[in-house]
Amino acid sequence: MIQQTIKQIADLLAGGKISSVELCQDYLVRIAAHNPGLNAFITVDAERTLAEARVADALRASGKAGPLAGVPIAHKDIFCAEGWLTTCGSKMLHNFVSPYDAHVIEQFKKTGMPCLGKTNMDEFAMGSSNETSYYGAVKNPWDTARVPGGSSGGSAACVAAGLAPAATGTDTGGSIRQPAALCGITGLKPTYGVVSRYGMIAFASSLDQGGPMARTAEDCALLLNVMAGFDTRDSTSLEREKEDYTRDLAKPLAGLRIGLPKEFFGEGLTGDTATAVQVAIEQFRKLGATTVEVSLPNSGLSVAAYYVIAPAEASSNLSRFDGVRYGYRTPDYGDLTDMYEKTRAEGFGAEVKRRIMIGAYVLSHGYYDAYYIQAQKLRRLIAQDFAEAYKACDVILGPTAPTTAFKLGEKADDPVQMYLSDIYTIAVNLAGLPGMSLPCGFDGQGLPIGLQLIGDYFSEARMLNVAHQYQLATDWHQRTPGGF
């Protein structure tokens, strides 16, 4: 069963071959057996999961169920879920039980998809390795001495290890795509505003976007059908008609123009990754696509721009965590100011503090114009680079990450090297474009390599079509780590 895709599981449920309760019980047994070694889940509540599964089975029995009713899913612990501990991977929220559901959680509940648990993540989604979590590092199932990527590392690891058929993630600078690449699964970041951010604990509001993580592009399309939609409670949610993201999956790729940015194939890219991506490009040519070189001249500055804009927004968003109304409060303090200072000093981890300080600095008097405004100008130039590139191509292709999974602790003391793990993904967030990662091979150590596709605004259906056709012709997405 753990080798089955969401589509296959849904078909088994529809045919009465298995019940949602039986399915969830199987996954809960696997979680109990393997999570102690992977640390992919922060919270598991078997009783609540099975109660939701019984509701899904009743829905199936009534004949009113949708196509995914009864299929279980794990949720990144950044999404508020009523009655569930929602920590955002931080000591600051170690005791916060959400009184309401995020829009994304609401959508999955309406569909009848039971929650298997809340997955581990970098604290407040700040990290590229899932090592900044208050609950400890997540391990990569392909090699437990290595990182799974971040910040959605728990979601990626649990799907790769077969502890869940799918999971939600969020992507601020690559946090769905990079862990998907490092764990050998498929992950999609939609166009900014397609998925509501209501109830998704904010890191950088102009960059954060929720998205699906699963084994295949087809599964991601089915999940995006559930997640996407206008929400009046989110001012950045886009009022658009609902789409069927599976509608173009079967289209052939003849006539597809693939853009290859020369900036994505230079210094810093490992040989194994470059080779795997080149082999994938040849496969797309066999499928009828043509390739053209394009240029994204400002993409090399995306990391610098991102680490001005994102910390600036984080310093504002995280100001609400002060120990007054909910979450952690220091047990020993004098006056109100002392309580604020000690609570935040004790409740936040080192990486969160670093970004808050950077953000406060670049927004301060005398530096706002020099740093923040300049970064926003560069952001516009990056978006214009993509717009120019799409005059010559339909989709952009390149590596998701410059390397495969690195060892736990290897970059922990070098923040700059850690930040460069997202060098190919960050520009997509700055421009608000959709992007996805899918497996395209392995390096010499048997670690997965991710291929990144970047589409124009609202081209998710076409991008998923491209990925699906590639996966029909290859079997990289079917490979699973040994021991799981």
Compute the CA torsion angle 376, 381, 387, 393 (nearest 10 deg): -120
What are 289-334's pLDDT values in tens digits?
Answer: 999 999 999 999 999 999 999 999 999 999 999 999 999 999 999 9
User: What is the number of alpha carbons within 13 Å of residue 186 lying toward its C-beta?
Assistant: 29
Residues 215/158, Cβ–Cβ less than 8 Å: no
Query: 414: burial class by Cβ within 10 Å (0-12, 13-18, 19+)?
Result: exposed
Separation CA 111–CA 73 (nearest Å) = 11
CB count in 10 Å sphere of residue 61: 11
Is residue 90 annotated as part of the catalytic site, yes or no?
A: no
**What letter does residue 251 receive in the DSSP assignment?**
-
Separation CA 113–CA 10 (nearest Å) = 11
**What letter does residue 407 receive in the DSSP assignment?**
B
CB count in 10 Å sphere of residue 380: 12
Residue 412 banded pLDDT, cuts 50, 70, 90: confident
Written as one string, the DSSP assignment of 122-134 is SGGG--SSS-S-T
At residue 119, the 3 state secondary structure works out as strand
Separation CA 273–CA 99 (nearest Å) = 44
What is the chain's mean pLDDT, rounded? Answer: 97
At residue 366, the 3 state secondary structure works out as coil
**What letter does residue 258 receive in the DSSP assignment?**
E
Is position 278 within any domain? no
Separation CA 338–CA 433 (nearest Å) = 43
Task: Look up the CATH number of the domain holding residue 146.
Answer: 3.90.1300.10
At residue 386, the 3 state secondary structure works out as helix
Give the chain's count of helices (H) and strands (E).
15, 11
Provide the token pair at 48.
Answer: 């609540």
Region 382-397: mean pLDDT is 98
Is residue 205 annotated as part of the catalytic site, yes or no?
A: no
Query: 400: burial class by Cβ within 10 Å (0-12, 13-18, 19+)?
Result: buried
Residue 413 banded pLDDT, cuts 50, 70, 90: confident
Written as one string, the DSSP assignment of 270-286 is -HHHHHHHHHHHHHHHH
- Give percent of the chain above pLDDT 90: 96
Structural domain harbouring 194: 6-255
Backbone phi, psi, residue 474, to 5°: -135, 170
At residue 72, the 3 state secondary structure works out as coil
For β-strands 73-76 and 115-119, DSSP reports them as parallel
Provide the token pair at 124.
Answer: 């407040």
Q: At residue 1, does pLDDT exceed 80?
A: no
**H or E element in which residue 34 lies:** helix 20-38
At a CB cut-off of 8 Å and minimum separation 6, what does 252 contact?
287, 288, 469
Region 346-371: mean pLDDT is 96
Is position 375 within any domain? no
Residues 293/326, Cβ–Cβ less than 8 Å: no
At residue 415, the 3 state secondary structure works out as helix
Is position 45 within any domain? yes
Is position 400 within any domain? no
**Whole-structure pTM value:** 0.97
**What letter does residue 262 receive in the DSSP assignment?**
G
Is position 17 within any domain? yes
At 420 the pLDDT is 86
Number of domains in the chain: 1
3-state helix, strand, coil in the chain (%, to 5): 45, 15, 45
First-to-last CA distance in the chain?
Answer: 12
Residue 351 banded pLDDT, cuts 50, 70, 90: very high
Is position 91 within any domain? yes
At residue 200, the 3 state secondary structure works out as strand
At 117 the pLDDT is 98
b/e string for 288-324 if b means 16 or more Cβ within 10 A?
ebebeebebebbebbbebbbbbbbbbbbbbbeebbbe
Query: 206: burial class by Cβ within 10 Å (0-12, 13-18, 19+)?
Result: middle
What are 260-295's pLDDT values in tens digits?
Answer: 999 999 888 999 999 999 999 999 999 999 999 999
What are 416-474's pLDDT values in tens digits?
Answer: 889 888 999 999 999 999 999 999 999 999 999 999 999 999 999 999 999 999 999 99
What are 192-239's pLDDT values in tens digits?
Answer: 999 999 999 999 999 999 999 999 999 999 999 999 999 999 999 999
Is residue 152 annotated as part of the catalytic site, yes or no?
A: no
Is position 115 within any domain? yes
Amino acid at 137: A
What are 53-95's pLDDT values in tens digits?
Answer: 999 999 999 998 999 999 999 999 999 999 999 999 999 999 9
Residues 355/311, Cβ–Cβ less than 8 Å: yes
- Residue closest to 402 by CA, chosen among 419, 386, 422, 416: 422
Compute the CA torsion angle 473, 179, 78, 173 (nearest 10 deg): -100
Q: Which of 90, 98, 151, 237 is catalytic?
A: 151
Is position 98 within any domain? yes
For β-strands 115-119 and 186-189, DSSP reports them as unpaired
Residue 415 banded pLDDT, cuts 50, 70, 90: confident
